[in-house]
Structures are given as C-alpha cells and as structure tokens.
Amino acid sequence: MNIIEVKHLLKTYPLPGNKKGSFNAVDGITFNIKLGEIYGILGPNGAGKTTTLEMLEGLKDINGGSALIDGLDVSNNAFKIKEIIGVQLQANEYFESLNLSELLILFGKLYSNDINTENLLEKVGLLPKERAKPKELSGGQKQRFSIACALVNNPKVLFLDEPTTGLDPQAKRNLWNLVRELNVGGMTIVLTTHNMEEAESLCDRIAIMDKGKLIAEDTPQGLIDEYASEPIQETLKGNLEDVFLALTDHKLRD
C-alpha cells in the first residue's frame, strides 16, 4: 500500500535576471512511497530534493502534476495534510525563554493536543534535559529535539531534511537509532541526505535526483548492483557513493 503517490511533480521558478525565462527546479518527477518504509532522496546541491519535500509538506505551491498523502491531494487539503505529517527542518529557532517541556506543550497546542512531554522527550532520549533551554543543548540534542517537535501530532509520515548535517559520528548514530525506532513503531519516514552511509544504512528504497529529475530509484543494494558493480575507486565492493558518482558525475561536498 502506498501512503505517498507523486505524479509528474513540477516546480517552476523564473530565471534570475530574465523575466520571460523560467527553469524547472523539480522537473516532472514520479514516485510512490510505501506505508511504513524509510525512503531516501539523494542528490547534489540544487538537485531539487528540498523543494520536493517542501511541496509534499505544503510549504511550496505545486506548479504541475499531483501529490497525494494518505489519499489526500496536497494542493487541495493543506490543513488536513499538516495534521498527518511531521516536519523536521534543517534549521530551527525557538522561543529561547521556554524550556523543552514548555516548548512541546506550546507546539502541541497548535494541534489542539495535550502533550505528555515526559513520554515524548524519553522517546528522543532527552528526558534528563526537560528543563533545559534550547541554547543549552548540543548539536545532536538540538536535532533530536527538533524531531520531538515534529512528533507532537503523532504523524503518519515524518519528513527529515538532512537530519544529521554537522553532527559528530556519535550524535549521528544516535539519531539513526531514533529514526529506526520510529520506523519500527510504524511511522513512514522520508529523508533527504548527502550522507551515503546514512542512506545505505537507513533506507528501504532510494531515489536519486539531479537537475530536477529523478534519475534512478531502487533499494540500496539494487542501485549498487546496477550502477556500481565495479567500484570507481579501488575498494572491496561498490557502495552508494559509487552509485552517486556514476549517475551524477558530482563530487560529494565535504
């Protein structure tokens, strides 16, 4: 069963300095996401990954094609869509005078939900920090708290945009474990990432985008078998980084 169905999705912007010209940031892509899977979207900077997520989240208008989440058309049901999804963004700003528990209560009120803050903070491993202010958290703790905020409405689908960017290895692995636990609990998770190890470790299926187009989609092993059976570099076997380089000819950012 598909919980997300995307057909010929299009996002168009005017060309800088050319009022008559335009370009497709997302260029007619089609894909489906199954209920209960972790689905990754990879691609170089400017490929259209974040724009795709923002259209599915109702944060950007859809210029063409369609997107359904749990049977609801995103373009026509923006409020209902926001009730069933959770969104963890790349950057977050909070009311610095409030502690973590108070912030979760505030976000819950936006959905008319009474939040059990202890249960939610325990789920993301932050219960000992319930009285802390956001500025007192480490980078990894801030990322986990941003996910807690995205869970206040108990979403069916959780969107994560580069969730481990800037984290140290231990914080990154802790967040991976959290994503797996949420998924085992039945949540569908859609994430963008530049981290090939992250995608290979977490994702059931992966879409690779470049220049607004979806250029490949399969399981991590399926992509490796098709595009990196002979590694670009001298390694024991091909991996997703070899797939990425073979398909996009882009070097990964540091």
Host domain of residue 146: 36-61+76-248
80 domain-assigned: yes
6 domain-assigned: no
45 domain-assigned: yes
- The pLDDT tens digits for 182-230 are 999 999 999 999 888 899 999 999 999 999 999 999 999 999 888 877 6
Lookup: tokens for 86: 């959770």
123 CB-near residues (< 8 Å, 6+ apart): 148, 151, 178, 181
Please report, for the domain that includes residue 142, its CATH number.
3.40.50.300
Nearest CA to 28 among 58, 1, 55?
55
Give the C-alpha distances (Å, rounded to integers) separating 39 from 7, 9, 125, 175: 16, 17, 24, 16
Residue 71 to residue 210: CA distance in whole angstroms? 28
115 domain-assigned: yes
Supply the pTM of this predicted model: 0.86
- Antiparallel, parallel or unpaired: β 157-161 and 85-88: parallel
4 burial class (0-12, 13-18, 19+ CB within 10 angstroms)? buried
22 domain-assigned: no
81 domain-assigned: yes
Per-residue pLDDT at 88: 85
- The pLDDT tens digits for 164-173 are 888 888 888 8
The average pLDDT across 37-60 equals 94
Count: domains in the chain: 1
Q: What is the dihedral of CA 229, 220, 26, 46, to 10 degrees?
A: -70
Q: How many residues does the chain have?
A: 254
* Alpha-helix residue ranges (DSSP H) falling in 124-166: 139-150
Nearest CA to 33 among 150, 191, 153?
191
166 domain-assigned: yes
8 domain-assigned: no
Three-state DSSP class for residue 45: coil
Per-residue pLDDT at 211: 93
Instruction: Indicate the helix (H) or strand (E) that contains 104.
Output: helix 100-110
